[in-house]
Amino acid sequence: MSRKVLVLGEIRDGQLRNVSFEAIAAGKIVAEGGEVIGVLLGESVSALGAELIQYGADRVVVVENEKLKQYTSDGYAQALLAVIDQEKPEALVFGHTALGKDLSPKVAAKLSSGLISDATAVEIAGGNVVFTRPIYSGKAFEKKIVTDGLIFATVRPNNIAPLEKDESRTGEVSSLSVEIKDLRTIIKDVIRKATEGVDLSEAKVVVAGGRGVKSAEGFEPLKELAAVLGGAVGASRGACDAEYCDYSLQIGQTGKVVTPDLYIACGISGAIQHLAGMSNSKVIVAINKDPEANIFKVADYGIVGDLFEVVPMLTEEFKKLKVHS
Amino acid sequence: MNIFVLMKRTFDTEEKITISGGKINEDGAEFIINPYDEYAIEEAIRVRDAHGGEVTVITVGTEESEKQLRTALAMGADKAVLINIEDDIENGDQFTTAKILAEYLKDKDADLILGGNVAIDGGSGQVGPRVAELLNIPYVTTITKLEIDGTKVVVTRDVEGDSEVIETSLPLLVTAQQGLNEPRYPSLPGIMKAKKKPLNELELDDLDLDEDDVEAKTKTIEIYLPAKKEAGKVLSGELADQVKELVHLLHTEAKVV
Protein backbone atom coordinates (compact mmCIF):
# COMPACT_ATOMS: atom_id res chain seq x y z
CA MET A 1 0.00 0.00 0.00
CA SER A 2 1.68 3.19 -1.08
CA ARG A 3 1.42 6.27 1.10
CA LYS A 4 1.98 9.97 0.76
CA VAL A 5 4.54 10.98 3.40
CA LEU A 6 5.50 14.42 4.67
CA VAL A 7 9.00 14.80 6.13
CA LEU A 8 9.94 17.91 8.08
CA GLY A 9 13.36 19.24 7.11
CA GLU A 10 15.13 20.86 10.04
CA ILE A 11 17.50 23.76 9.53
CA ARG A 12 20.24 24.87 11.88
CA ASP A 13 22.67 27.69 11.20
CA GLY A 14 21.38 27.92 7.64
CA GLN A 15 21.96 24.25 6.86
CA LEU A 16 19.84 21.14 6.80
CA ARG A 17 20.59 18.80 9.66
CA ASN A 18 21.68 15.24 8.90
CA VAL A 19 18.71 13.86 10.76
CA SER A 20 16.47 15.36 8.08
CA PHE A 21 18.12 13.18 5.43
CA GLU A 22 17.72 10.21 7.75
CA ALA A 23 14.04 11.13 8.18
CA ILE A 24 13.64 11.14 4.38
CA ALA A 25 15.16 7.65 4.23
CA ALA A 26 12.65 6.55 6.88
CA GLY A 27 9.88 8.32 4.95
CA LYS A 28 10.80 6.36 1.81
CA ILE A 29 10.29 3.08 3.66
CA VAL A 30 6.96 4.23 5.11
CA ALA A 31 5.84 5.49 1.67
CA GLU A 32 6.13 2.02 0.07
CA GLY A 33 6.54 3.62 -3.33
CA GLY A 34 4.32 6.61 -2.59
CA GLU A 35 5.37 10.24 -2.72
CA VAL A 36 7.79 11.66 -0.14
CA ILE A 37 7.34 15.40 0.29
CA GLY A 38 9.89 17.48 2.17
CA VAL A 39 8.61 20.45 4.18
CA LEU A 40 10.77 23.46 4.99
CA LEU A 41 9.67 26.20 7.38
CA GLY A 42 11.59 29.41 7.98
CA GLU A 43 12.19 32.94 6.85
CA SER A 44 14.20 32.33 3.70
CA VAL A 45 14.80 28.65 3.22
CA SER A 46 13.59 27.61 -0.24
CA ALA A 47 17.17 27.32 -1.56
CA LEU A 48 17.61 24.27 0.68
CA GLY A 49 14.74 22.45 -1.05
CA ALA A 50 16.97 21.07 -3.78
CA GLU A 51 19.15 19.29 -1.23
CA LEU A 52 16.16 17.50 0.32
CA ILE A 53 15.31 16.26 -3.16
CA GLN A 54 18.90 15.11 -3.74
CA TYR A 55 18.56 13.03 -0.60
CA GLY A 56 15.39 11.36 -1.83
CA ALA A 57 12.38 13.68 -1.44
CA ASP A 58 10.18 13.75 -4.55
CA ARG A 59 9.24 17.37 -4.07
CA VAL A 60 9.34 20.05 -1.41
CA VAL A 61 6.79 22.47 0.02
CA VAL A 62 8.20 25.62 1.59
CA VAL A 63 6.45 28.00 3.98
CA GLU A 64 8.41 31.25 4.28
CA ASN A 65 7.41 33.84 6.85
CA GLU A 66 9.44 36.18 9.03
CA LYS A 67 7.59 34.77 12.04
CA LEU A 68 9.13 31.39 11.27
CA LYS A 69 12.69 32.70 11.51
CA GLN A 70 13.00 31.16 14.95
CA TYR A 71 11.26 28.00 16.00
CA THR A 72 8.16 28.39 18.14
CA SER A 73 5.67 25.57 18.60
CA ASP A 74 2.75 27.88 17.76
CA GLY A 75 4.33 29.25 14.57
CA TYR A 76 5.63 25.95 13.24
CA ALA A 77 2.40 24.11 14.07
CA GLN A 78 0.33 26.65 12.15
CA ALA A 79 2.59 26.42 9.10
CA LEU A 80 2.80 22.65 9.20
CA LEU A 81 -0.94 22.18 9.66
CA ALA A 82 -1.50 24.36 6.59
CA VAL A 83 0.83 22.08 4.60
CA ILE A 84 -0.93 19.00 5.98
CA ASP A 85 -4.27 20.52 5.02
CA GLN A 86 -3.03 21.10 1.46
CA GLU A 87 -1.28 17.76 0.97
CA LYS A 88 -3.42 15.42 3.07
CA PRO A 89 -0.58 12.98 3.79
CA GLU A 90 -1.02 9.51 5.24
CA ALA A 91 2.21 9.71 7.23
CA LEU A 92 4.51 12.25 8.90
CA VAL A 93 8.17 11.86 9.85
CA PHE A 94 10.25 14.32 11.92
CA GLY A 95 13.68 14.08 13.46
CA HIS A 96 13.68 13.33 17.19
CA THR A 97 15.57 16.52 17.97
CA ALA A 98 14.79 19.29 20.47
CA LEU A 99 12.54 20.79 17.80
CA GLY A 100 10.94 17.51 16.78
CA LYS A 101 10.31 16.49 20.40
CA ASP A 102 8.70 19.85 21.14
CA LEU A 103 6.56 20.12 18.01
CA SER A 104 5.43 16.56 17.25
CA PRO A 105 3.15 16.00 20.29
CA LYS A 106 1.37 19.31 19.64
CA VAL A 107 0.71 18.36 16.03
CA ALA A 108 -0.37 14.86 17.08
CA ALA A 109 -2.80 16.29 19.64
CA LYS A 110 -4.16 18.72 17.06
CA LEU A 111 -4.75 15.87 14.61
CA SER A 112 -5.96 13.46 17.34
CA SER A 113 -3.35 11.03 16.08
CA GLY A 114 -0.92 8.59 17.57
CA LEU A 115 2.79 9.33 17.57
CA ILE A 116 5.70 6.94 17.78
CA SER A 117 8.61 8.92 19.20
CA ASP A 118 12.32 8.26 18.96
CA ALA A 119 12.29 5.43 16.41
CA THR A 120 15.65 3.83 15.65
CA ALA A 121 14.43 1.64 12.79
CA VAL A 122 11.44 1.25 10.51
CA GLU A 123 10.37 -1.70 8.37
CA ILE A 124 7.35 -3.09 6.60
CA ALA A 125 6.36 -6.38 8.20
CA GLY A 126 3.13 -8.36 8.03
CA GLY A 127 1.44 -5.52 6.16
CA ASN A 128 2.27 -3.02 8.91
CA VAL A 129 4.70 -0.16 9.18
CA VAL A 130 6.69 -1.29 12.21
CA PHE A 131 8.86 1.11 14.18
CA THR A 132 11.53 -0.01 16.62
CA ARG A 133 12.23 2.27 19.56
CA PRO A 134 14.24 2.05 22.75
CA ILE A 135 12.42 1.99 26.08
CA TYR A 136 13.95 2.33 29.55
CA SER A 137 16.60 4.44 27.80
CA GLY A 138 17.80 1.54 25.71
CA LYS A 139 17.70 -1.15 28.39
CA ALA A 140 14.99 -2.70 26.20
CA PHE A 141 13.36 -2.14 22.81
CA GLU A 142 9.80 -2.25 21.57
CA LYS A 143 8.27 -2.67 18.15
CA LYS A 144 5.29 -0.47 17.63
CA ILE A 145 2.61 0.10 15.02
CA VAL A 146 -0.06 2.72 14.50
CA THR A 147 -3.51 1.16 14.80
CA ASP A 148 -5.71 4.12 13.98
CA GLY A 149 -5.29 7.07 11.64
CA LEU A 150 -2.17 8.90 10.55
CA ILE A 151 1.23 7.20 10.79
CA PHE A 152 3.37 9.69 12.67
CA ALA A 153 6.89 9.09 13.96
CA THR A 154 10.05 10.89 14.99
CA VAL A 155 13.40 9.26 14.21
CA ARG A 156 16.44 9.33 16.46
CA PRO A 157 19.54 10.93 14.91
CA ASN A 158 22.37 8.61 13.79
CA ASN A 159 20.29 5.44 13.51
CA ILE A 160 18.62 5.25 10.10
CA ALA A 161 21.12 5.56 7.25
CA PRO A 162 20.38 8.41 4.83
CA LEU A 163 20.16 7.65 1.13
CA GLU A 164 23.15 8.41 -1.04
CA LYS A 165 23.06 12.03 -2.19
CA ASP A 166 22.13 12.13 -5.88
CA GLU A 167 22.90 15.51 -7.37
CA SER A 168 21.13 14.65 -10.60
CA ARG A 169 17.77 14.29 -8.84
CA THR A 170 15.38 17.15 -9.41
CA GLY A 171 11.87 17.94 -8.27
CA GLU A 172 9.42 20.72 -7.69
CA VAL A 173 9.95 23.19 -4.84
CA SER A 174 6.65 24.99 -4.29
CA SER A 175 5.76 27.58 -1.75
CA LEU A 176 2.68 27.93 0.39
CA SER A 177 1.73 31.20 1.97
CA VAL A 178 0.48 30.93 5.54
CA GLU A 179 -0.59 33.67 7.91
CA ILE A 180 1.18 33.10 11.22
CA LYS A 181 -0.55 34.70 14.19
CA ASP A 182 -0.89 34.68 17.96
CA LEU A 183 2.54 33.40 18.94
CA ARG A 184 2.21 32.81 22.66
CA THR A 185 5.89 32.18 23.32
CA ILE A 186 8.57 34.63 22.22
CA ILE A 187 12.29 33.86 22.12
CA LYS A 188 14.12 36.77 23.71
CA ASP A 189 17.62 35.39 23.68
CA VAL A 190 19.64 32.33 22.71
CA ILE A 191 22.70 31.56 24.79
CA ARG A 192 25.13 29.34 22.92
CA LYS A 193 27.03 27.10 25.25
CA ALA A 194 26.72 23.76 23.50
CA THR A 195 29.66 21.52 22.86
CA GLU A 196 31.65 23.82 20.60
CA GLY A 197 29.95 23.12 17.36
CA VAL A 198 29.28 19.38 17.54
CA ASP A 199 25.92 18.38 18.94
CA LEU A 200 26.14 15.53 21.44
CA SER A 201 23.09 13.66 20.16
CA GLU A 202 24.29 13.73 16.54
CA ALA A 203 28.05 13.36 17.12
CA LYS A 204 29.79 10.41 15.45
CA VAL A 205 32.36 10.37 18.24
CA VAL A 206 31.69 11.06 21.92
CA VAL A 207 34.44 11.41 24.51
CA ALA A 208 32.86 11.19 27.96
CA GLY A 209 34.27 11.81 31.41
CA GLY A 210 33.19 10.52 34.80
CA ARG A 211 34.18 11.10 38.40
CA GLY A 212 37.70 10.02 37.47
CA VAL A 213 38.12 13.33 35.65
CA LYS A 214 38.27 14.89 39.12
CA SER A 215 37.65 18.56 38.23
CA ALA A 216 36.34 20.95 35.61
CA GLU A 217 39.92 21.40 34.36
CA GLY A 218 40.20 17.64 34.12
CA PHE A 219 37.87 17.80 31.13
CA GLU A 220 40.46 19.70 29.08
CA PRO A 221 42.35 16.65 27.75
CA LEU A 222 38.98 15.09 26.85
CA LYS A 223 38.02 18.20 24.92
CA GLU A 224 41.30 18.06 23.02
CA LEU A 225 40.72 14.42 22.11
CA ALA A 226 37.16 15.18 21.00
CA ALA A 227 38.41 18.08 18.87
CA VAL A 228 40.93 15.88 17.06
CA LEU A 229 38.21 13.35 16.31
CA GLY A 230 35.58 15.93 15.38
CA GLY A 231 33.47 14.66 18.25
CA ALA A 232 31.57 15.98 21.24
CA VAL A 233 32.28 15.82 24.96
CA GLY A 234 29.83 14.13 27.31
CA ALA A 235 29.77 13.20 30.98
CA SER A 236 28.37 10.77 33.51
CA ARG A 237 25.91 11.79 36.20
CA GLY A 238 28.72 11.54 38.74
CA ALA A 239 30.76 14.19 36.92
CA CYS A 240 27.72 16.47 36.58
CA ASP A 241 26.68 16.03 40.21
CA ALA A 242 30.24 16.89 41.26
CA GLU A 243 29.87 20.08 39.16
CA TYR A 244 32.80 19.27 36.87
CA CYS A 245 30.56 20.13 33.94
CA ASP A 246 27.12 21.31 32.89
CA TYR A 247 24.11 18.99 33.12
CA SER A 248 23.58 19.50 29.41
CA LEU A 249 26.48 17.09 28.89
CA GLN A 250 25.00 14.30 30.97
CA ILE A 251 24.61 10.93 29.28
CA GLY A 252 22.46 8.28 30.90
CA GLN A 253 18.95 7.27 31.79
CA THR A 254 18.53 10.79 33.09
CA GLY A 255 20.30 12.97 30.57
CA LYS A 256 20.96 12.25 26.93
CA VAL A 257 20.96 8.93 25.16
CA VAL A 258 23.65 8.74 22.51
CA THR A 259 24.51 6.19 19.84
CA PRO A 260 27.73 7.42 18.19
CA ASP A 261 30.05 5.27 16.07
CA LEU A 262 32.72 5.60 18.75
CA TYR A 263 32.22 6.22 22.47
CA ILE A 264 35.31 6.75 24.59
CA ALA A 265 34.53 6.49 28.32
CA CYS A 266 37.22 8.08 30.48
CA GLY A 267 37.19 7.54 34.23
CA ILE A 268 33.59 6.30 34.10
CA SER A 269 32.76 3.36 36.34
CA GLY A 270 29.73 2.28 34.31
CA ALA A 271 26.69 2.54 36.59
CA ILE A 272 23.55 1.00 35.11
CA GLN A 273 22.02 4.42 34.74
CA HIS A 274 24.99 5.58 32.61
CA LEU A 275 25.11 2.41 30.50
CA ALA A 276 21.48 2.99 29.55
CA GLY A 277 22.53 6.19 27.82
CA MET A 278 25.43 4.86 25.75
CA SER A 279 25.53 1.07 25.55
CA ASN A 280 24.01 1.05 22.06
CA SER A 281 26.99 2.96 20.68
CA LYS A 282 28.65 1.08 17.82
CA VAL A 283 32.12 0.84 19.36
CA ILE A 284 32.90 1.53 23.01
CA VAL A 285 36.36 2.21 24.42
CA ALA A 286 36.86 2.27 28.19
CA ILE A 287 39.76 3.91 29.95
CA ASN A 288 39.75 3.35 33.69
CA LYS A 289 42.24 2.79 36.49
CA ASP A 290 40.06 0.11 38.05
CA PRO A 291 40.26 -3.16 36.07
CA GLU A 292 37.04 -4.29 37.82
CA ALA A 293 35.05 -1.27 36.64
CA ASN A 294 31.68 -2.21 35.19
CA ILE A 295 32.35 -0.17 32.05
CA PHE A 296 34.77 -2.86 30.79
CA LYS A 297 31.83 -5.27 30.55
CA VAL A 298 30.27 -3.26 27.74
CA ALA A 299 33.50 -2.00 26.17
CA ASP A 300 34.82 -3.37 22.89
CA TYR A 301 38.31 -2.20 23.79
CA GLY A 302 39.68 -1.32 27.18
CA ILE A 303 42.82 0.22 28.58
CA VAL A 304 43.44 -0.11 32.30
CA GLY A 305 45.26 3.05 33.21
CA ASP A 306 45.17 6.64 34.34
CA LEU A 307 43.08 8.71 31.96
CA PHE A 308 45.38 11.71 32.45
CA GLU A 309 48.21 9.63 30.96
CA VAL A 310 46.21 7.72 28.36
CA VAL A 311 43.99 10.45 26.90
CA PRO A 312 46.78 12.86 25.84
CA MET A 313 48.71 9.93 24.31
CA LEU A 314 45.58 8.93 22.41
CA THR A 315 45.16 12.49 21.15
CA GLU A 316 48.72 12.48 19.81
CA GLU A 317 48.29 9.08 18.22
CA PHE A 318 45.05 10.12 16.48
CA LYS A 319 46.77 13.28 15.26
CA LYS A 320 49.47 11.13 13.64
CA LEU A 321 46.77 8.94 12.08
CA LYS A 322 45.00 12.00 10.64
CA VAL A 323 48.26 13.22 9.11
CA HIS A 324 48.92 9.83 7.48
CA SER A 325 45.44 9.26 6.14
CA MET B 1 -1.90 30.35 42.18
CA ASN B 2 -3.50 27.12 41.08
CA ILE B 3 -0.66 24.73 40.30
CA PHE B 4 -0.84 21.18 38.96
CA VAL B 5 1.93 18.63 38.48
CA LEU B 6 1.67 15.67 36.09
CA MET B 7 3.50 12.75 37.66
CA LYS B 8 4.40 9.23 36.57
CA ARG B 9 5.53 6.26 38.61
CA THR B 10 8.53 4.59 36.96
CA PHE B 11 11.16 1.92 37.48
CA ASP B 12 14.17 3.00 39.50
CA THR B 13 17.04 4.01 37.22
CA GLU B 14 19.33 1.40 38.76
CA GLU B 15 16.93 -1.47 37.98
CA LYS B 16 17.95 -4.09 35.46
CA ILE B 17 15.22 -4.82 32.94
CA THR B 18 14.05 -8.39 32.32
CA ILE B 19 11.20 -9.71 30.23
CA SER B 20 8.71 -12.43 31.07
CA GLY B 21 5.71 -13.41 29.00
CA GLY B 22 6.50 -10.75 26.42
CA LYS B 23 6.27 -7.97 29.00
CA ILE B 24 8.68 -6.06 31.17
CA ASN B 25 8.97 -8.00 34.41
CA GLU B 26 7.93 -5.81 37.35
CA ASP B 27 8.34 -8.41 40.09
CA GLY B 28 10.48 -7.16 42.92
CA ALA B 29 11.44 -3.97 41.07
CA GLU B 30 11.81 -0.69 42.93
CA PHE B 31 9.56 2.10 41.76
CA ILE B 32 10.15 5.82 42.07
CA ILE B 33 8.71 9.13 40.96
CA ASN B 34 9.97 9.67 37.41
CA PRO B 35 13.14 11.73 38.08
CA TYR B 36 12.12 14.55 35.72
CA ASP B 37 8.73 14.75 37.46
CA GLU B 38 10.57 15.21 40.75
CA TYR B 39 12.04 18.45 39.39
CA ALA B 40 8.51 19.48 38.41
CA ILE B 41 7.17 18.79 41.91
CA GLU B 42 10.03 20.70 43.53
CA GLU B 43 9.51 23.68 41.23
CA ALA B 44 5.76 23.66 41.88
CA ILE B 45 6.37 23.80 45.63
CA ARG B 46 8.83 26.68 45.22
CA VAL B 47 6.41 28.64 43.02
CA ARG B 48 3.64 28.12 45.57
CA ASP B 49 5.89 29.19 48.45
CA ALA B 50 6.84 32.36 46.56
CA HIS B 51 3.45 33.26 45.10
CA GLY B 52 0.90 31.48 47.28
CA GLY B 53 -1.70 28.99 46.13
CA GLU B 54 -1.95 25.26 46.05
CA VAL B 55 -0.09 22.36 44.43
CA THR B 56 -2.05 19.33 43.22
CA VAL B 57 -0.12 16.32 41.93
CA ILE B 58 -1.99 14.12 39.44
CA THR B 59 -1.15 10.72 38.05
CA VAL B 60 -2.86 8.33 35.67
CA GLY B 61 -2.12 4.87 36.96
CA THR B 62 -3.16 2.19 39.38
CA GLU B 63 -3.45 1.92 43.15
CA GLU B 64 0.27 1.22 43.24
CA SER B 65 0.94 4.84 42.27
CA GLU B 66 -0.44 5.98 45.65
CA LYS B 67 2.99 5.47 47.18
CA GLN B 68 4.62 7.97 44.79
CA LEU B 69 1.72 10.41 45.28
CA ARG B 70 2.26 10.22 49.06
CA THR B 71 5.95 10.93 48.49
CA ALA B 72 5.00 14.05 46.49
CA LEU B 73 2.70 15.12 49.34
CA ALA B 74 5.52 14.52 51.80
CA MET B 75 7.79 16.77 49.71
CA GLY B 76 5.21 19.50 50.18
CA ALA B 77 2.44 19.21 47.61
CA ASP B 78 -1.02 19.99 49.04
CA LYS B 79 -3.26 17.50 47.29
CA ALA B 80 -2.99 14.42 45.15
CA VAL B 81 -5.27 12.91 42.54
CA LEU B 82 -5.07 9.36 41.27
CA ILE B 83 -6.95 8.66 38.09
CA ASN B 84 -7.19 4.91 38.39
CA ILE B 85 -7.47 3.22 34.99
CA GLU B 86 -6.76 -0.31 36.16
CA ASP B 87 -10.27 -1.63 35.46
CA ASP B 88 -10.85 0.31 32.26
CA ILE B 89 -7.73 0.39 30.13
CA GLU B 90 -5.41 -2.44 29.27
CA ASN B 91 -3.26 -0.84 26.61
CA GLY B 92 -3.14 2.91 26.68
CA ASP B 93 -0.69 5.16 24.88
CA GLN B 94 0.25 8.84 25.09
CA PHE B 95 -2.96 9.81 23.31
CA THR B 96 -4.86 7.99 26.07
CA THR B 97 -2.98 9.52 29.00
CA ALA B 98 -3.05 13.07 27.61
CA LYS B 99 -6.78 12.88 26.88
CA ILE B 100 -7.55 11.69 30.41
CA LEU B 101 -5.37 14.37 32.02
CA ALA B 102 -6.81 17.12 29.84
CA GLU B 103 -10.34 15.98 30.61
CA TYR B 104 -9.58 16.22 34.32
CA LEU B 105 -7.85 19.60 34.01
CA LYS B 106 -10.23 21.33 31.61
CA ASP B 107 -12.44 22.93 34.28
CA LYS B 108 -9.79 23.35 36.99
CA ASP B 109 -8.61 26.86 35.99
CA ALA B 110 -4.98 25.86 36.26
CA ASP B 111 -2.54 28.77 36.20
CA LEU B 112 0.53 26.61 35.91
CA ILE B 113 0.95 22.96 34.98
CA LEU B 114 4.33 21.25 35.35
CA GLY B 115 5.60 17.85 34.33
CA GLY B 116 8.85 16.09 33.54
CA ASN B 117 10.13 16.53 29.99
CA VAL B 118 10.23 12.79 29.50
CA ALA B 119 9.57 9.63 31.50
CA ILE B 120 12.56 7.34 31.81
CA ASP B 121 10.51 4.24 30.99
CA GLY B 122 8.43 4.94 27.87
CA GLY B 123 10.64 7.85 26.90
CA SER B 124 8.25 9.52 24.48
CA GLY B 125 8.04 12.99 26.05
CA GLN B 126 4.64 13.53 24.48
CA VAL B 127 2.19 13.91 27.32
CA GLY B 128 3.05 17.45 28.46
CA PRO B 129 2.73 19.20 25.07
CA ARG B 130 -0.30 17.09 24.17
CA VAL B 131 -2.10 18.17 27.36
CA ALA B 132 -1.24 21.84 26.72
CA GLU B 133 -2.60 21.60 23.19
CA LEU B 134 -5.81 19.94 24.37
CA LEU B 135 -6.26 22.70 26.96
CA ASN B 136 -5.30 25.31 24.37
CA ILE B 137 -2.59 26.86 26.54
CA PRO B 138 1.06 27.56 25.60
CA TYR B 139 3.86 25.27 26.70
CA VAL B 140 7.61 25.33 27.01
CA THR B 141 9.55 22.05 27.19
CA THR B 142 12.87 21.12 28.85
CA ILE B 143 13.04 24.18 31.10
CA THR B 144 15.95 24.93 33.42
CA LYS B 145 14.64 28.18 34.95
CA LEU B 146 11.21 29.63 35.68
CA GLU B 147 10.50 33.21 36.73
CA ILE B 148 6.95 34.41 37.30
CA ASP B 149 5.87 38.03 37.73
CA GLY B 150 2.10 38.45 37.83
CA THR B 151 0.94 36.63 34.72
CA LYS B 152 4.22 37.33 32.90
CA VAL B 153 6.60 34.40 32.74
CA VAL B 154 10.24 34.20 31.66
CA VAL B 155 11.49 30.69 31.08
CA THR B 156 14.95 29.40 30.22
CA ARG B 157 14.87 26.30 28.12
CA ASP B 158 17.59 23.77 27.29
CA VAL B 159 17.88 23.18 23.56
CA GLU B 160 20.48 20.49 22.93
CA GLY B 161 22.87 22.23 25.30
CA ASP B 162 22.13 25.81 24.26
CA SER B 163 19.74 27.96 26.29
CA GLU B 164 16.73 29.86 24.99
CA VAL B 165 15.18 32.61 27.06
CA ILE B 166 11.46 32.69 26.36
CA GLU B 167 8.76 35.16 27.32
CA THR B 168 5.26 33.89 27.73
CA SER B 169 2.32 34.16 30.11
CA LEU B 170 0.06 32.22 32.41
CA PRO B 171 -1.78 29.92 32.07
CA LEU B 172 1.15 27.83 30.97
CA LEU B 173 2.44 24.27 30.89
CA VAL B 174 6.16 23.61 31.32
CA THR B 175 8.21 20.42 31.34
CA ALA B 176 11.26 20.14 33.55
CA GLN B 177 14.82 19.42 32.45
CA GLN B 178 17.66 18.43 34.71
CA GLY B 179 19.27 21.48 36.28
CA LEU B 180 15.95 23.22 37.03
CA ASN B 181 16.43 22.69 40.76
CA GLU B 182 17.59 20.25 43.40
CA PRO B 183 14.55 18.24 44.53
CA ARG B 184 14.22 18.00 48.30
CA TYR B 185 13.95 14.77 50.23
CA PRO B 186 10.72 14.42 52.19
CA SER B 187 11.30 15.36 55.84
CA LEU B 188 9.97 13.25 58.69
CA PRO B 189 7.31 15.85 59.65
CA GLY B 190 6.53 16.09 55.94
CA ILE B 191 5.94 12.34 55.78
CA MET B 192 3.67 12.50 58.87
CA LYS B 193 1.68 15.39 57.42
CA ALA B 194 1.36 13.68 54.04
CA LYS B 195 -0.69 10.90 55.61
CA LYS B 196 -3.46 13.39 56.36
CA LYS B 197 -3.38 15.29 53.09
CA PRO B 198 -6.21 14.60 50.62
CA LEU B 199 -5.59 11.90 48.01
CA ASN B 200 -8.57 11.76 45.74
CA GLU B 201 -9.18 8.73 43.54
CA LEU B 202 -11.14 8.96 40.30
CA GLU B 203 -12.04 6.61 37.48
CA LEU B 204 -12.86 7.25 33.82
CA ASP B 205 -16.58 7.35 34.69
CA ASP B 206 -16.02 10.31 36.99
CA LEU B 207 -14.56 12.22 34.05
CA ASP B 208 -17.47 11.27 31.78
CA LEU B 209 -15.07 9.34 29.59
CA ASP B 210 -15.64 5.98 27.91
CA GLU B 211 -12.90 3.52 27.09
CA ASP B 212 -13.61 4.25 23.42
CA ASP B 213 -12.90 7.96 23.88
CA VAL B 214 -9.36 7.24 25.00
CA GLU B 215 -8.56 4.14 22.95
CA ALA B 216 -4.88 4.04 22.03
CA LYS B 217 -3.80 4.99 18.51
CA THR B 218 -0.66 2.87 18.65
CA LYS B 219 0.16 -0.62 19.81
CA THR B 220 3.27 -2.40 21.03
CA ILE B 221 3.65 -5.69 19.18
CA GLU B 222 6.93 -6.89 20.64
CA ILE B 223 9.30 -6.08 23.50
CA TYR B 224 12.85 -7.44 23.54
CA LEU B 225 16.20 -6.92 25.18
CA PRO B 226 19.21 -5.72 23.20
CA ALA B 227 21.66 -8.40 22.16
CA LYS B 228 24.22 -8.97 24.90
CA LYS B 229 27.60 -7.63 23.97
CA GLU B 230 30.48 -10.02 23.85
CA ALA B 231 33.27 -9.29 26.26
CA GLY B 232 35.66 -6.81 24.75
CA LYS B 233 39.40 -6.78 24.45
CA VAL B 234 41.30 -5.32 27.39
CA LEU B 235 44.73 -4.40 26.09
CA SER B 236 48.00 -5.12 27.88
CA GLY B 237 51.65 -4.22 27.73
CA GLU B 238 53.36 -0.84 27.95
CA LEU B 239 50.83 1.98 28.10
CA ALA B 240 52.32 3.70 25.05
CA ASP B 241 52.05 0.45 23.06
CA GLN B 242 48.46 -0.06 24.24
CA VAL B 243 47.54 3.38 22.98
CA LYS B 244 49.16 2.67 19.59
CA GLU B 245 47.40 -0.68 19.40
CA LEU B 246 44.05 0.88 20.30
CA VAL B 247 44.28 3.51 17.59
CA HIS B 248 45.32 0.83 15.11
CA LEU B 249 42.36 -1.39 16.09
CA LEU B 250 39.87 1.47 15.89
CA HIS B 251 41.21 2.33 12.45
CA THR B 252 41.59 -1.12 10.87
CA GLU B 253 39.37 -3.53 12.84
CA ALA B 254 36.47 -1.39 14.07
CA LYS B 255 36.88 1.11 11.22
CA VAL B 256 35.33 3.97 13.18
CA VAL B 257 38.16 6.47 12.71
Q: What is the pLDDT of residues A215-228, one digit of tens each?
A: 999 999 999 999 99
Q: For chain B, give every domain's residue range.
A: 2-213, 227-256
**What count of residues does chain B have?**
257
Evaluate whether ipTM surpasses 0.90.
Answer: yes
Residues A148 and A287 in one domain: no
Binding-face residues of A in 140-169 toward B, CB within 8 A? 140-149
**A296 touching chain B per CB within 8 A:** yes
**A248 touching chain B per CB within 8 A:** yes
Instruction: Answer whether A299's CB lies under 8 Å from A265's CB.
Output: yes
Residues A155 and A242 in one domain: no
Residues A158 and A9 in one domain: yes
Residue (of B190, B143, B196) closest to B36 by Cα position: B143
Number of domains in chain A: 2
Is residue A191 a part of any domain in this protein?
no
Chain B residues with beta carbon closer than 8 angstroms to that of A122: none
Instruction: Answer whether B247's CB lies under 8 Å from A317's CB.
Output: yes
Task: Taking residues A83-106, report their average pLDDT.
Answer: 98
Is residue A130 a part of any domain in this protein?
yes
CATH architecture of the domain with range B2-213: 3-Layer(aba) Sandwich (3.40)
Residues A35 and A159 in one domain: yes
Q: Could you read off the pLDDT of B32-74 as tens digits, one per residue?
A: 999 999 999 999 999 999 999 999 999 999 999 999 999 999 9
pLDDT band at A201 (very low <50, low <70, confident <90, very high): confident
Chain B residue whose CA is closest to A237: B178
Residues A143 and A270 in one domain: no
Domain residue limits at A62 = 5-175
Is residue A233 a part of any domain in this protein?
yes
CB atoms within 10 A of CB A200: 24
Is residue A30 a part of any domain in this protein?
yes
Per-chain mean pLDDT for chain B: 95
Residues A54 and A97 in one domain: yes
**Strand partners for B163:** A191, B158
Chain B residues with beta carbon closer than 8 angstroms to that of A305: 239, 242
Is residue A182 a part of any domain in this protein?
no
Q: Which residues contact A240 (CB under 8 A, 6 or more apart)?
A: A246, A247, A249, A250, A255, B178
Which CATH number belongs to the domain containing residue A22 in this structure? 3.40.50.620
Residues A246 and A165 in one domain: no
Whole-number pLDDT of residue B86: 93
Distance (Å, rounded) from C-alpha B117 to C-alpha B215? 24
Q: Could you read off the pLDDT of A239-292 as tens digits, one per residue?
A: 999 999 988 899 998 888 899 999 999 999 999 989 999 998 999 999 999 999
Residue (of B127, B172, B112) closest to B10 by Cα position: B127
A272 annotated as a binding-site residue: yes
Q: Could you read off the pLDDT of A147-179 as tens digits, one per residue?
A: 999 999 999 998 999 999 999 999 999 999 999
What is the DSSP-derived secondary structure letter of residue A137?
G
Q: How buried is B230 (Cβ within 10 angstroms: 0-12 exposed, 13-18 middle, 19+ buried)?
A: exposed
Residue A17, H or E segment: none
B221: left (phi over 0), alpha (psi -120 to 50) or beta: alpha
Binding-face residues of B in 92-121 toward A, CB within 8 A? 93-95, 98, 120-121
CB atoms within 10 A of CB A78: 22
Is residue A187 a part of any domain in this protein?
no
Residues A208 and A115 in one domain: no
